[in-house]
Amino acid sequence: MPDPLADHDQLASALRLVEREAQAYLAGLDDALVRPPVTPGGVIPPLPDAGDGSLPALTALIEAARDGATRSAGPRFFHFVMGGSTPAALGADWLTSTLDQVAFNWVSSPFAAHIEQVSLGWLKEMFGIPADWSAVITTGATTGNLVGLATARRWWGLQHRRDVDADGFGGLPPVPVFAGGYLHASAIKALAMLGIGRHNAQVLARDAAGRVDLDALESALRAEKNRPAILIATAGDVNTGDFDPLAEMADMADRYGAWLHVDGAFGLFAALSPATRRLVRGVERANSVSVDGHKWLNVPYDTGFAFVRDAALHAGSFGATAAYLGAEALARPVFGNLAPEMSRRARALPVWATLRAYGRDGYRQMVERHLGLAQRVARQVDEAPDLERLADVALNVVCFRFHPPDVPEAALDDLNRRLGQLILEDGRVFFGTTDYAGKVAFRPAIVNWRTREEDVDLIVRVTRELGARLTASSVPR
C-alpha cells in the first residue's frame, strides 16, 4: 500500500469497522473492569516500509485498544477527576474529525468560530460569568490556567509600564503570586511556563488541609504596598472538592488592586445547583477563570475554557500576526489568537452539541445526582467501622481512609498506600491515593454521566473487602 490515495475506496469500510467496534466497546463499558486487561509494552517494532492499508492497521489498533485501554470513560473510574463523553458530545467529536475544521479564525472556519462563540456564551450563562468577558476554548484547565495567568502577567507588566509579551521581564522584580493551599499543580505549572516561576507562588494556608489563611493573605498584600500582585483562588480542591472563599478573595483583590484568577476546573459546575451555588459566589468578580470541559461537562479529551474580564489584555497576551493570515474585523474574536495554539481542533462542536442536547436542566440534574452520590458514599464511609472520613463533602469528592480500629496510626499510611495499589489492580472501581493533611487517603471523585448508585456502592464495598484481605495477611498489630 504505497500511497493513501490508493486506499481511497476503503474509507467507508474503515468507518464502518470503527463504528462497529465502538458500539461493542461502549456497550461493555458499564460492566467492564476499569483497569486494562493487559499492560501494554514491549519492544518498539520498526516503522514498516510498506504499509498494509487502513483496514489491517485499524484492526491491529482496535485489538491493542481492546487489551490496553483503561475504561476511564466508564461509570466506575473515580481516579483524578475524569468525566466521560455524553452521547451528543461523542457523536459531535466524531463529526469534528470528519469535518476537520481549523478553528483559527472566521476565515479558516466561520462555522467553527461561530459554534465556539455560541458555546462560550452558553457556558458563561451556566457559570454566572458576565456575558461581555472574553473567552476561548482550551485543551483543559491547565491551559485555561495558562491563559488566565498569561493575561495576569500582561496586566502586571503594564502596571510596571512594560509590555512583557513584547519586551520580556528583564529588570523587573519577581511577580508576587499568592494562593491558599488548594493551589493546583497545573496552576504552578502555568506559572513555570510563563516565566513567573513555580517557586514564586506563596501558599498561605491556615491548616494542613490547605484552607486559605485570609489574614495572612491580607498581611501579604498589605506588605506589597500597592504594588500589583496576583491572587489564585481554587474553586474545587482535588482532595476534597472544597472551595476557597471567592467573594472574600475578590474583596481583597479589590482592596489591594490585585488580579484574581479562579481555577474552577470542576468546581464551577457548583453554579448549576441551588444547593451548591453559594460556593461560586464571587466568581463573577474575578479577572480570569479557568474551567475544564473533559471533567464535569463530559465532553471528550481534550477540552477546557478560559474566561477573561478584560478582552484587550486577553488578546494582547496571545496575539500573533503574519501577512498571510489576513486582517480580521476586530468585532469578532480570533480564537487562535486567544490561546497558545493557532491551528486548533474545533473542540467547540462537542461542547455545543452536549449543551444543546441536555441544556441547563440536564446538567443541573446530572450535577445534583453526583452530589447525592457523593453524600451516599460519605454515609457508607461513616457507617463502616473500619473506614474514616477525613473531610466534609462539599461537592463530589469523598476523602477517606481505611482505618481498622486495631491498626496503629503509624501503620496507616503504608496500609492505605498498599490498599490503593490493590484497588487499582482489582479494577472493579478505580481511584488512587493522595496526601490529605499529612495522611495517605482516598479521594474518589464522581463526575461521569454514566455513574449510578450501584457504581458508587462498590467504592466502600471493594475498599473494605480488599482492606480486610490485606490486614489479615500483613499488618503488624
The binding site for ligand PLP (CB under 6 A) comprises: 80-81, 140-142, 184, 186, 234, 236, 238, 263, 265-266, 292, 304
Contact 119, 352 (CB under 8 A): yes
Place of cell 497545573: 186
SS3 256: helix
- Minimum separation from the CB atom of position 300 to ligand PLP (A): 12
| Residue 287 grid coordinates | 479577572
Rounded CA-CA distance 263/268 in Å is 9
Compute the radius of gyration of the chain from its Cα atoms: 24
Closest distance to ligand PLP from the beta carbon of 446 (Å): 14
Residue with the three cell numbers 493551589 = 183
Report CA torsion sign: 158, 163, 165, 167. negative
Closest CB to ligand PLP among 164 and 194? 194
Half-sphere exposure of 265 (CA within 13 A, CB side): 30
Q: How far is CA 193 from the centre of its chain?
A: 18
Which residue's CB is nearer to ligand PLP, number 94 or number 301? Answer: 301
Closer residue to ligand PLP, CB minimum distance, 256 or 296: 296
The three-point CA angle 199-204-210 to 5° equals 105
Q: What is the DSSP letter of 432?
A: -
Give the residue nearest to ligand PLP (CB): 140
For ligand PLP, give the closer residue by CB, 81 or 252. Answer: 81
Task: Return the number of the residue (106 or 178) whose C-beta is nearest ligand PLP.
Answer: 178
Closest separation in Å from C-beta 342 to ligand PLP: 20
Which CB atom, from 443 or from 464, has the smaller least distance to ligand PLP?
Answer: 443
Question: Strand, helix or coil at 451?
Answer: coil
- What minimum distance in Å lies between the beta carbon of 80 and ligand PLP? 6
Taking the least distance from each CB to ligand PLP, the nearer of 80 and 111 is 80
Minimal distance, residue 413 CB to ligand PLP, in Å: 23
Q: How far is the CB of 41 from ligand PLP (least distance, A)?
A: 24
CB of 144 to ligand PLP, least distance (A): 7
Q: At what angle do helices 11-28 and 54-68 cross, to 10 degrees?
A: 10
3-state secondary structure of 274: coil
